[in-house]
Every structure is written in structure tokens, then in C-alpha cells.
Amino acid sequence: MTDLPFGISLDVGTSLANKTGSWRVERPVYVDRLPPCNDACPAGENVQRWLYHAEAGHYEQAWRALVEDNPLPAVMGRVCYRPCEGACNRAQLDEAVGINAVERFLGDEALARGWSFEAATRPSGRRVLVVGAGPAGLAATYHLRRLGHAVTLVDGAERPGGMMRYGIPKFRLDRGVLDGEVDRILALGVDLQLGTPVTDLPAAMRDGGFDAAFLAVGAQLAHRAYIPAGDSARVLDAVSFLRDVEGADPPRLGRRVLVYGGGDTAMDAARTARRLGATDAVVVYRRTRERMPAHDVEVQEAAEEGVCMSWLSTIAGIEDGKAVLEEMELDADGFPQPTGRFHDVAADAVVLALGQDTDLSLLATVPDVTVAGRSVQVDGTLMTGHPGVFAGGDIVGPERTVTTAAGAGKRAARAIDAWLAGGTLPQRDRHPLATFDALETWYYADAPKAHRPVLELARRTSTFDEVVGGLDEGTALFEARRCMSCGNCFECDNCFGMCPDNAVIKLEPGQRYRFDYDYCKGCGICVSECPCGAIVMVPEEL
């Protein structure tokens, strides 16, 4: 056996026996490549697979393929920052496929139609403690239950959802949608304990008879910074502010609000302030836009809603009714340096959005767990130095998004399942990436991207209604069909119809094709006619 590109093995003796004349020096071989959307998804979704079902109009089948990896598609369809679309090959042809919009459509369709998860048929008899009911904890709970393990999910808050509920504003994530997807996970049979912070992990595991634990504590502690402030100055941290807005009596900030910081939380806080009545909401950031960590979509939507940006500025002090800003300038290394130039800005309140930390006090009595900075150190399976204790999401970092957390929950659940069985999580072979230059883009018709509807601007700053809407069925179907199936055969029949030697054998639906090398002369027409780059020529003799 000889190894060829793309992980193919070929018996040279057989190949020589089946040569079609002396003219064939190469033979075509079907391959599977890794779609860039799959590769870029932090939740590990098989994006191309569920899009394939969606473009056929098989929405429930598409949803079930999606939730094999991610149990929160309606949530992700609203709050994910869409790295899959950033990697989409179609962006080099016209515009990226609206993967996130189709995901939201499928998630909303599932809620509307009452589709439920399939539970495990065989209980494992093992018990797992999950600490934190945010996206990582909920995803881990879901996958652990489907693997047959009993799960107790504990959280110190009054309601589940973590930072999805207490950190993401309602105008980005409707609470009915969040509740619907959380309830569907809990319906698998989860022991949910709210208002129950875990302060001593070993004691909690011992008292509950747990075989393993997954720590999914969110980053809910705000960074603080010393800023000279008068006694009457109104200063809040963004984490507490957004949490309080979720309650029945949201805080009153006044007409003029400064938000100090440059991340997504700063954008959410400023946009929330506008909805609470602030006529002037200004984000103060000490660097330039190019160095701002907030995602472009957040900055754009904030600007549309009248949020102003004060670049290269820092807050030097706060007094009654005003803040003192110092101008900054970037040095040769791009770091902001003070200039000694100051000016006053009217401010009824200042919201500090300077980053967040996780509360690691529950690990104080756990031996062999290493903490570096404010992150727990884990191995490739997300297990800490203490056997049976796993961690993921914000507590591990550095990426702190809902999608990354959900992916960590899935990985941890599968690793816990393997560990409980006395084994390790097997490593999967990685296919080569399907790149744009391997595609035959002539096959794909021009199809402009369908953009989601947006709430009219007049209502955006006066209500907490969702700003971005969803696609209707026809538009979602059209968008799914824009997928080019990069690197994987989708049975278009091009190779079958164009082969001059009838050497391509069409198999049953879903089984694709095979080559009859007794007739193939190795002309390579099938390769040039395959739109998705799923056929390569390999040497006949090595």
C-alpha cells in the first residue's frame, strides 16, 4: 500500500493491473476536504452538513444535524459573531453565505414547531456536577444527558442562562427564545439547582456522590480601575449595570452617560443607556478604532443608534456632573501614552467596561489545579490537574463568546464520557482544507446575499425589541442554496454526465459515485468539471 495525498491509500499492484492502456499516468479519486466554515466554527458544527439538508427544504433534518453539536441554534443565530462567514469561500465570489441567518431560522422553526431532543436510551449510572448554567454549562449538560449520564446543574443566579441572560441585552437576544432553548435542554431530565453557588467543590462532589465535575463559571466579576471621583459622582460597572437592567427596576443614569472601555460589553452598555433615556451616550476609549476589541457589527449598530466615540481618551477624574478626559497618543509600539492635555465632558453617570474576571474561589480547596492569571489551566481534554475535574468557557479563556463556550461544553462532555469509561477521547483525522482555488466557480450562479431585516431606527432607542430580525422560509431556503459545498461531493452529476468513457458509476442517492478504472483513461475532465473540488488526480505509478 502506498500513501497518496489527502490520506488516500493505493495498492500499486492493483492499479497497474487495472490500467486502461499505456496512456493513463494518473487516475481520478474522490476526496473529502474540510469546509472552511466547519473549520472556523468555535462550536464545532458540521455547517456544510446541516446546510445541505436545509437547502433541500428538510428543515427538521437540518436542525437535528445542527444540534448534534450545538443545542442553542436560535441563540447562536442572534449572538454569534459569525467566524464561519468570515472563512466562507463564497465571499471571494460575491458575498459569504448567510450561515448564521439560516441557523437562526432553523432554531426559530424548532421552537415554533415544538421539536424536542432525543434522550439517551441507556442510563450510564454515572453522575456529573456542572457548575454554571451559562452556554458552556448548558451545552455540557445537554451532551452529557444524551450520553446517558445523570447531571446536576447548579448556578448562583435566580434563572439559568448565565451571561446570555445577565450580560447580553434583550435587544440582541429575546428572552423568550433563550428560555425556550434552555427549557428544551432541561426537559432531558436535569436536576437544576438555582441560587446555589458552589464555594467548596470537593465537598459538593463528595456530598452529591458525583463521579466528575465540569466548571463553567462565567466571567461575571468586573475589572476595577482607580479613578478619582467626588462623593456625588455616579460610577457603575458595566457587568452590574447590565445585570440590573434585567430586573424589574432598571437603574436610572441620567441624560449624559460616559462608558469607559472598548469591548463588546462597552457597546452593549452604551446602547442600553440610550434605551434608558440617555440623550448623549459616549464611549471613551484610549486607543483607536483599529485597536478596539469590540466586533465591527457591535460598533456599527451602536453608531447607528447615536452612540458617539471618543478615541484616544482616558478618564482622569469624575466630579459632580462632569468627567475630566485626558487626550492620549499612540507611541511607536501602538501603546497609548498621556499627553497632559485635558478637557471636561458633561456626565451624569460613568459606566466602567474595563473587562471581566471569573470567580475561582470554589477551587481554593481543590488540589493540583493550576491557575495562571485568572484562567484555569487544562489539558487537551479540558481536564484540570485534578482527575475528574474539567473546566471550559470563560474560566479557561481567552476567547469569551457564547459560541466558544458552547463548543467547550461539547468537548468537555465527550472527554468526561471517555474518562468515565476509563479511556481517552480519540483524535479525529483532519481532512485538508477546501480552499477557494480548488473550486470551479463557473458552476455557481450569481446570487446576492439575503440580508436580515432590521428594526427601524426610531424604535431602536426607545424599546428593547430585537434589533435584527430573522429570515422568512423562502429567503432562508435561498440563502442555504448559496452554499457551494466546498470540498465535498453533493451529487451534481457533472462527473457522471461529462465523462467521455462512461467510467463514472452513479450509486444510490446519498452514496455518490465510484470510478470504473477499467474504462477510465485518466483524461481529468471529471476534475475540471467538479465544482466543489471533490476529485483529484493521483499518480498511477509511484
What fold is seen in the domain 2-32+489-539?
A: Alpha-Beta Plaits (3.30.70)
Q: Which residues touch 521 (CB under 8 Å, ≥6 apart)?
A: 20, 21, 23, 24, 501, 503
Q: What is the pLDDT of residue 249?
A: 84
Cell readout for 371 is: 491557575
Domain 37-115+444-480 in this protein, CATH class: mainly alpha
Locate the domains of the chain by residue range. 2-32+489-539, 37-115+444-480, 127-220+358-420, 226-354
Helices (H), 287-395: 296-304
The grid coordinates listed for 316 are 482622569
Rounded Cα gap, residues 34 and 435, in angstroms: 9
Selecting from 3.40.50.300, 2.70.98.70, 2.40.30.10, 3.50.50.60, what CATH number does the domain 127-220+358-420 have?
Answer: 3.50.50.60
The length of the chain, given as a count of residues: 542
Nearest to 538 by CA among 13, 28, 22: 28
Q: How far apart are CA 344 and CA 361, in angstroms?
A: 40
The answer to whether the 127-220+358-420 and 226-354 domains have the same CATH topology is yes
Cell numbers at residue 456, please?
A: 427601524
Residue with cell string 462532589: 205
Of 315, 345, 316, the residue nearest 255 (C-alpha): 345
In whole angstroms, give the CA distance from residue 73 to residue 101: 10
Q: Which residues, other chains included, contact 42 with Cβ-Cβ below 8 Å and sequence gap of 6+?
A: 83, 399, 401, 403, 404, 406, 407
For 62, 142, 147, 168, the CA distances from 176, given in Å and listed in that order, are 22, 19, 28, 14
Superfamily of domain 226-354: FAD/NAD(P)-binding domain (3.50.50.60)
What is the identity of the amino acid at 202?
Answer: P
pLDDT by residue for the chain (542 residues), tens only, comes to 445 444 444 444 444 444 554 578 899 999 999 999 999 999 999 999 999 999 999 999 999 999 999 999 999 999 999 999 999 999 999 999 999 999 999 999 999 999 999 888 789 999 999 999 999 999 999 999 999 999 999 999 999 999 999 999 999 999 999 999 999 999 999 999 999 999 899 999 999 999 999 999 987 777 777 888 877 778 999 999 999 998 878 888 999 999 999 999 999 999 999 999 999 999 999 999 999 999 999 999 999 999 999 999 999 999 888 999 999 999 998 899 999 999 999 999 999 999 888 888 888 889 999 888 778 999 999 999 999 999 998 889 778 899 999 999 999 999 999 999 998 888 888 899 999 999 999 899 888 899 999 999 989 998 999 999 999 999 999 999 999 999 999 999 999 999 999 999 999 998 999 999 999 999 999 999 999 999 999 998 65
Dump the DSSP string for 434-500. Answer: --GGGS-GGGSPP-PPPPPPB--HHHHTT--S-SB----HHHHHHHHTT---TTS-----HHHHH-T
